[in-house]
Amino acid sequence: MKQALLSVAQKTGTLHPMPNNNVAKKGSSSSEGTRCLWSFECEDEVRGTPTYANGVVYVGSYDNNLYALKASNGEFLWKYPTEGGIVSRPAFADNNVIVGSEDKSLHVVSARMGKSIWTYQTDGPIRSSPAVAEGHIFVGSDDACLHAINILTGRRAWRFDAGEMVRSTPAVSADRIYFGTESGELFCLDFSGTTKWRFKAKRAFTSSPTVAQGAVYIGSLDAMLYAVDAKSGFNIWRFRLGKGSISSPCTSDKYVFTGAIDGVIYCLDARSSKEIWRFTAEQQVTSSPILFRDSIYCGSVDGNLYALEYRTGRLRWKYQIGKPITGTAAVGEDIIFVGATDHRVYALTA
Amino acid sequence: MISFLKKLFGVNTATLQQNALAVETPSAPEKPPLGELATLPLEDRCNEVISSAEAWPPSPQIAVGWGQSVGRQREQNEDSIFVLSTMLMTNNTQTPFGFFIIADGMGGHQHGEIASGLAVRALSTHVLRKLYLPMFNANPEPPDQSLQEILEDGIYEAHRTIIKSFPGSGTTLTAALIMGEQMTLTHVGDSRAYLFPANSPGQVLTRDHSLVKRLEELGQITAEEAVQHPQRNVLYRALGQGEPFEPDVSTFPLPHHGHLLLCSDGLWGVIPEKEIMAIICSTPDLHLACQALLDAANAAGGPDNISAILLRLTN
């Protein structure tokens, strides 16, 4: 069976184990402070974000496939083809993997076998990532709607017309759903799809909101990072970035982190919006930072994945992939998983 | 940038078509036709309305009391306070709105009482004009500034007003703006905001802009020495006292249970924090609690003007 799987891997996606800290790929280099455990090559760019669940990494690629890889060694488990590129981050719920595709469909696939459970069609490519809550999937689409779909039946519970493409990934907190639109509106809906409030920025919200401590944090292409009261929609503060942002913020106990197209990873005090530190990459940061233990992990279009001490912004290590990283890293089993536009998915020690 | 974003989300159709052919392998699961929805038998739970056990709790009710005393050693009151607590109808929901200010005119300077009064009037006028009054429009629009920007602009305006009207005078100022689920504080000087969450120790939300606090932060004196320090009233930042002037502005999630206290140093500099907390917790009526705090400060000598605004937050 293993041979058969390896054979498939050789045919359809190439598995590259990388022992002893050696990255045997031209254009890459080893980095002090981390070690590449393995990398897996898809047939086209990996612009989206992997998801880790139960020892498996699920990741979509612009080769149209959703891949399942064993987290510990990168072994190919299965792949599921769609008819469009996948930039959406898969969600994992009830032993199913849920992912949107540019073929306009949301696909629900069994995590074990990679077989289709059901699909749900929208009227536009899906670049938003699904969020699962209360037995329903919430996902945006380029058809300008946020869709609420029953996870058991694949049937639509409701559809909310947001007026412009929804590429932002919804955040669900308490009984509210938050998401941005390409027209620069941040919506708060209740579970019946009714608008509770809306907040307007000057340009698009491609970034996905993060909810923490009663506040919604989201970046905009108008070069602002906003903190908005989650209940009323009042703007608490806004912080001017060097350029616009499609990076989605993450939070710690008292800090907010985000990247921006000016190539900077920012750390702000969540209460005062004062800048705590900034780290300047060599090119744009469209990837979103993630916090794991005492570090922030964030990729850049400069081809590096950076690990920074989250309190100080000090560089712990950087791993040079050499091709732009536009997606966000995921973490599981103390391993950082990240995709890149060199078609590969990498597993690095944290 | 636009071209980069296009590249990020754009699709190379030719490449995809090639890849679509390449991925046809024996192991690939069969993909159902697009748009064909599954026809699983309906179960009751399939039709359940989306609901959540974790619904938003209602916003806390705000009750407020306040009190002032000239103290036992001063001849006039140089403190000023402002209190406004109400509910606003926004987005079809009731939103708590509260604005509370304490300003302590600097003794030893000219017109301390005038400076504190000017500061309170300038800041309250600014906030009410920018934030509160527009809520009464037929179609209220959210302000074009953030809550922190409105407060910061207001305190700068107060600072400029004092410099222009009564140069040489000065005042502290600590203000709390409650809007929805957030509490935004702005602060200059050594008046204080305390939070006493239910069943938790109290915490000071503001940082004194005083010489002794700085020495304490630098480890040169202890907290006990700071209380007795001869220069404990020396401030390095105050409204009306020239540049550099930079107010602290920060926002906290509004606790749903507990007390918030704004007070001048005539209270916190005289009564230990534990005693303040004991009085607050043992006196349900907020006006009586404020009076008890003033009485305790006067009983301890009442060396300075005393002002207190006490809020109780309950669900």
Q: What is the ipTM of this complex?
A: 0.86
Question: What are the Cα distances from residue B51, in Å, to A136, A190, A193, B54, B210?
Answer: 10, 9, 12, 9, 51
Please give the pLDDT value at position B242: 78
For testing contact with chain A, the best of B12, B21, B31, B144 (most A CBs within 10 A)? B31
pLDDT recorded at residue B295: 97
Shortest Cα distance from B150 to chain A (angstroms)? 10
Q: Least CB-CB distance to A236: which of B50, B55, B182?
A: B182
Looking at residue A1, its pLDDT comes to: 41
Q: Is the pLDDT of residue A7 over 50?
A: no
More confident residue, B12 or A326: A326
- Give me chain A's average pLDDT, please: 91
Q: Which CATH number fits domain B66-314: 3.60.40.10, 3.30.413.10, 3.30.1240.10, 3.30.420.40?
A: 3.60.40.10
pLDDT of residue B11: 38
The CA–CA distances, whole Å, from A247 to A208, A218, A250, A297, B282 equal 8, 9, 9, 13, 49
Amino acid B160: pLDDT: 94
Whether A299 and A263 have beta carbons less than 8 Å apart is answered as: no
Q: Which chain B residue's Cα is nearest to A189?
A: B91
pLDDT at B110: 65
Task: Report CB contact under 8 Å: A175, B46.
Answer: no
Residue in this structure with the two tokens 């500034």, named with its chain if needed: B145
Least confident range of A134-138, A273-277, B74-78, B172-176? B74-78
Residue B52 and residue A82: Cβ atoms within 8 Å? no
Q: Which residues of chain A neighbour B22 with C-beta distances below 8 Å? A: 12, 43, 63
Distance, in Å, from the CA atom of A174 to the CA atom of B207, rounded to the nearest integer, reads 33
The first and second tokens of residue B50, run together, are: 């989306």
According to the model, what pLDDT value does residue B297 have?
97
pLDDT of residue A284: 95
Q: Check residues B40 and B172 and name the one with the higher pLDDT.
A: B172
- Alpha carbons B27 and A155: distance in angstroms, whole number: 28
Rounded Cα distance, A259 and A237, in Å: 17
Q: In this predicted structure, what is the pLDDT of residue B91?
A: 62
Chain B residues lying within 8 Å of A102, measured CB to CB? 11
Residue B218 has what pLDDT?
A: 87
- Residue type for position B4: F
- Look at B15 and A44 and tell me if their CB atoms are within 8 Å: yes
pLDDT in tens, A214-267: 999 999 999 999 999 998 899 999 999 999 999 999 999 999 999 999 999 999
The string of pLDDT tens digits covering residues A142-183 is: 999 999 999 999 999 999 999 999 999 999 998 899 999 999
CB of B163 within 8 A of CB of B109? no
Per-residue confidence band for B244, with pLDDT thresholds at 50, 70 and 90: confident
Q: Which of residues 235-274 of A touch B (CB under 8 A)?
A: 235-238, 243-244, 246, 261, 269, 271-273
Shortest CA distance from A234: residue in chain B: B142
Share of chain B above pLDDT 70, in %: 80
Judged by a CB distance cut-off of 8 A, whether residue A95 touches chain B is: no
Which residues, other chains included, contact A73 with Cβ-Cβ below 8 Å and sequence gap of 6+? A17, A37, A38
Cα A13 from Cα A41, distance rounded (Å):
5
pLDDT of residue A15: 53
Please report, as a single letter, which amino acid is at residue B309: I
Q: How many residues does chain B have?
A: 315
The answer to which of B13-27, B111-125, B217-231, B295-309 has the lowest mean pLDDT is B13-27
In this structure, what DSSP letter does residue A49 have?
Answer: -
Chain A contact set for B148 (CB, 8 A) = 236-237, 272-273
Residue B248 pairs in a beta bridge with B187
A120 part of contact set with chain B, CB < 8 Å:
yes
Average pLDDT for B170-193: 95
Chain A: give the shortest CA distance to residue B218, in Å: 20
B31 pLDDT above the threshold of 80: no
Instruction: Say what the pLDDT of residue B108 is.
Output: 61
CB-nearest to B182 from A12, A47, A214 is A214
What does R_g of chain B's alpha carbons equal in angstroms? 27
Interface test with B, best of A119, A194, A251 (most B CBs within 10 A): A119
CA nearest neighbour of B82 among B152, B169, B165, B174: B174
More confident residue, B74 or B199: B74
Mean pLDDT of chain B: 83
- pLDDT tens for B64-109 read 999 999 999 998 899 999 999 998 876 667 788 999 999 999 866 5
In this prediction, residue B265 has a pLDDT band, given cuts at 50, 70 and 90, of very high
Minimal C-alpha gap between B108 and chain A (Å): 32
